[in-house]
Amino acid sequence: MSVSMPRIVDLDRDDIRKGLQDGSILLVDVREAHEYAAGHIPGAILHPLSSFDPASLPKDKRIVFSCAAGVRSARALEYAQAAGLDIHEHYKGGFKDWAAAGEPVE
């Protein structure tokens, strides 16, 4: 029996900035609520990994996951793909990369 590995596409800060500016992505922050409240990428919506339900994600949007540094967002991709969703992109650098680069934070 073969097990397929999740397909993960790493996006960088420029990809995220462009996608948010042109409205082509919905950035889903999978950090916990207290992390999101302390600062998040403008336009990102909160969907904590600890209570992650892939079925509640919008079906009509290009979903890109983000977290602090790319670990939880990759895990969210695995969960979404296991649920049969065609989602494969995440922000590899995450919020730490965004904030360190001086990008706007809410």
pLDDT, tens only, 23-74: 999 999 999 999 999 999 999 999 999 999 999 998 889 999 999 999 999 9
Q: Which two tokens stand for residue 91?
A: 């922000």
What's the CA gap between 53 and 28, in Å, rounded? 12
Q: Which residues are part of the catalytic machinery?
A: 67
- The reply to whether the predicted model has a pTM over 0.85 is yes
**H-only helix segments in the chain:** 13-22, 33-38, 71-82, 94-100
Q: What are phi and psi of 60, to 5 degrees?
A: -105, 15
CA distances from 93 to 31, 76, 87 (A): 13, 15, 18
User: What's the confidence (pLDDT) of residue 70?
Assistant: 95
Q: Which residues contact 84 (CB under 8 A, 6 or more apart)?
A: none
Which domains, from first to last, does the chain contain? Answer: 9-100 (3.40.250.10)
* Confidence class for position 6, pLDDT limits 50, 70, 90: low
What's the CA gap between 9 and 30, in Å, rounded? 17
